[in-house]
Amino acid sequence: MTEILDERGLSCPQPVLDTLKALPSVQGGKLSVLVDTEAARENVARAAESKGWQLASVEEKDGEYTLHLVKNA
Amino acid sequence: MKNYFSTRWGIIAVGALIGLLAALLQKMGNPPNMGICVACFERDIAGALGLHRAEVVQYMRPEIMGFVLGSLVAALLARDFRPRTGSAPVIRFALGFFAMIGALIFLGCPWRALLRLAGGDWNAIFGLLGLAGGVFIGTLFLRGGYNLGPAKKAPKFVGFAMPLIMAGLLVLAFMNPPMAGEGKSGVLFYSLKGPGAMYAPLLIALAIGLLVGGLAQRSRFCTMGALRDLILFKQMHLFSGLIALVAVAFLANLAFGQFNPGFEGQPVAHSMGIWNFMGMVLAGLAFVLAGGCPGRQLFLSGEGDGDAAIFVVGMIVGAAFAHNFAMASSPAGIGANGITGLVIGLVVCLGIGFFGMRKQA
């Protein structure tokens, strides 16, 4: 099951911090992060990639983004 | 759509361009080592509006309006204009207020600290070390769970508030231009001597402000964020833009004959190392707790962030207090009440950091 982290409304660098904190304990290698600014979308993706994760896809709806992160094999 | 400005090379290009434009603004009339200084320019605006009467620092700096309006245009074009507010506004006002007190003890924001370094003012080294120290303290709070709570989506007009205020200030500047030998023009105050009397032509300064505002919005350029990400995440992304800024400003200063190395006699600076350091400790801590350097707060306010707008207002009010109550430094050294302001600021900011920590789930 994909875990979901809701970071909407939080300002920089909180979404990155919370994502990095969550990554080591994610079960199944899949994490979805909800953010609502483009800057957070970019920063979270960059931070996750630096930790060996990959941005599989991004969904956008009403100015909010769902980042689907998967752990590199 | 991929945002190329936020890539590694994008942020380096933006940093380099800002360094070049800052040196150019100085060449065209802005005060030495002050091609761009968000804190100094907001202080000058407070003076132009008569919020303080320090006669040497009163000028309606168009660069600041350009930063906000340029950011607005870039955000609208990129569909990145997201009105939001409601994340601890009073706290953000206080952080802006004390960030300005700290910055005016050092005599400059992080941008100016870098430009002072690029101009050969070695006193800036103490300021930058202080900034790093303040940022480091702030990261301890972040690691401890500090955050100011989420902002909420807001109606569009809330997001347009700060750009509208800046547009209004710009109209005031055009309607009341400086007049030779006059300390007042209409409702605005103007310096006849000192740094406030030194400025690049209005339209050029505005154009550069708009350009920097647009590019910084897209690239997320943030001087404090560069240090914070380096300390917190070991990430060089923003820091590479900062290095590019210093390198290009240094080369441009050499080319323009604006490089004068030394500690003593540096323009709009003092050589009290401990207070240069401590002033920026306070400013750096306040910037981390608020989530961005003063430039970044302006760009965020341009893209609709009402909380960043309140931080900006806090800085302008802080500038007025700093000069009305002798907390700002001068080339002679720290102001009569500068240490008092510094201590109060540190107590308040440390308190905000401590009480802002939330238990982790």
- CB-nearest to A13 from B82, B142, B149 is B142
CB B271 within 8 A of CB B264: yes
CB B341 within 8 A of CB B97: no
B338 band by pLDDT with thresholds 50, 70 and 90:
very high
Q: What are the structure tokens assigned to B62, written together?
A: 């168009």
The residue type found at B210 is L
Q: What is the pLDDT of residues B85-121, one digit of tens each?
A: 999 999 999 999 999 999 999 999 999 999 999 999 9
Output the average pLDDT for chain B. 96
**CB proximity A19 to B under 8 Å:** no
| Chain B residues inside the 8 Å CB shell of A3 | none
Choosing among B82, B92, B141, B238, which should be mutated to test the A contact, i.e. which has the most A CBs within 10 A? B82
Q: What is the pLDDT of residues B297-326, one digit of tens each?
A: 999 999 999 999 999 999 999 999 999 999
What's the sign of the alpha-carbon dihedral B277, B283, B288, B291?
negative
Choosing among B140, B233, B235, which should be mutated to test the A contact, i.e. which has the most A CBs within 10 A? B233
- CB-nearest to B220 from A9, A20, A39 is A39
- How close is the nearest chain A Cα to the Cα of B283, in Å? 17
Q: What are the structure tokens assigned to B339, written together?
A: 């240490």
| Chain A residues inside the 8 Å CB shell of B305 | 11
- How close is the nearest chain B Cα to the Cα of A1, in Å? 20
What secondary structure does DSSP assign to B29-89, as a single string?
Answer: TSPTT-SS-HHHHHHHHHHHTTSS--TTS----HHHHHHHHHHHHHHHHTT----EE-S-H
**CB proximity B227 to A under 8 Å:** no
* Alpha carbon of residue B230 to chain centroid: 20
Residues B5-27, mean pLDDT to the nearest whole number: 96
Closest chain A CA to residue B147:
A14
**CB proximity B53 to A under 8 Å:** no
Rounded Cα distance between B316 and B55, Å, is 16
Provide the whole-model pTM: 0.95
Prediction ipTM score: 0.90
Q: Do B233 and A16 touch (CB under 8 A)?
A: yes
pLDDT at A1: 67
Burial of B303 (0-12, 13-18, 19+ CB in 10 A): buried
Q: Do B292 and A12 touch (CB under 8 A)?
A: yes
Conformation bin of residue B199: beta by default, left when phi > 0, alpha when psi is -120 to 50: beta
pLDDT: which is higher, B115 or B358: B115
Instruction: Evaluate if residue B359 carries a pLDDT over 80.
Output: no
| Chain A residues inside the 8 Å CB shell of B82 | 36-37, 63
Q: Do A8 and B147 touch (CB under 8 A)?
A: no
For helices B273-290 and B123-143, give the axis angle rounded to 10 degrees: 30
**CB proximity A8 to B under 8 Å:** yes
The residue extents of the domains of chain A are 3-71
Q: What is the pLDDT of residues B156-201, one digit of tens each?
A: 999 999 999 999 999 999 999 999 999 999 999 999 999 999 999 9
Q: Do A13 and B150 touch (CB under 8 A)?
A: no
**CB proximity A13 to B under 8 Å:** yes
SS (H, E, C) B274-323: HHHHHHHHHHHHHHHHHCCCHHHHHHHHHCCEHHHHHHHHHHHHHHHHHH
Place of tokens 């820091």: B239
Q: What are the structure tokens assigned to B197, written together?
A: 């009397």
Closest chain A CA to residue B153:
A9
Q: Do A17 and B228 touch (CB under 8 A)?
A: no
Closest chain B CA to residue A42:
B6
- CB-nearest to B228 from A10, A13, A36 is A13
CB B146 within 8 A of CB B232: no
Rounded Cα distance between B149 and B138, Å, is 16
**CB proximity A63 to B under 8 Å:** yes
- The reply to whether CATH 3.10.129.10 applies to domain A3-71 is no
Choosing among B220, B236, B305, which should be mutated to test the A contact, i.e. which has the most A CBs within 10 A? B220
- How close is the nearest chain B Cα to the Cα of A10, in Å? 5
CB B301 within 8 A of CB B290: no
Per DSSP, the three-state class of A38 is helix
Rounded Cα distance between B3 and B237, Å, is 14
Q: Do A11 and B148 touch (CB under 8 A)?
A: yes
Q: How many pairs of residues across A and B have Cβ atoms under 8 Å apart?
A: 56
Instruction: Evaluate if residue B206 carries a pLDDT over 70.
Output: yes
Q: Do B232 and A14 touch (CB under 8 A)?
A: no
Q: What is the pLDDT of residues A11-41, one digit of tens each?
A: 889 999 999 999 999 988 999 999 999 999 9
Q: What angle do CA B172, B195, B263 make, to 5 degrees?
A: 150
What secondary structure does DSSP assign to B106-133, as a single string?
Answer: HTS-HHHHHHHHHTTBTHHHHHHHHHHH
Rounded Cα distance between B50 and A40, Å, is 38
Burial of A48 (0-12, 13-18, 19+ CB in 10 A): buried
Sheet of A3-6, strands arranged across? A3-6, A30-35, A64-71, A53-61
The residue type found at B241 is G
**CB proximity A46 to B under 8 Å:** yes
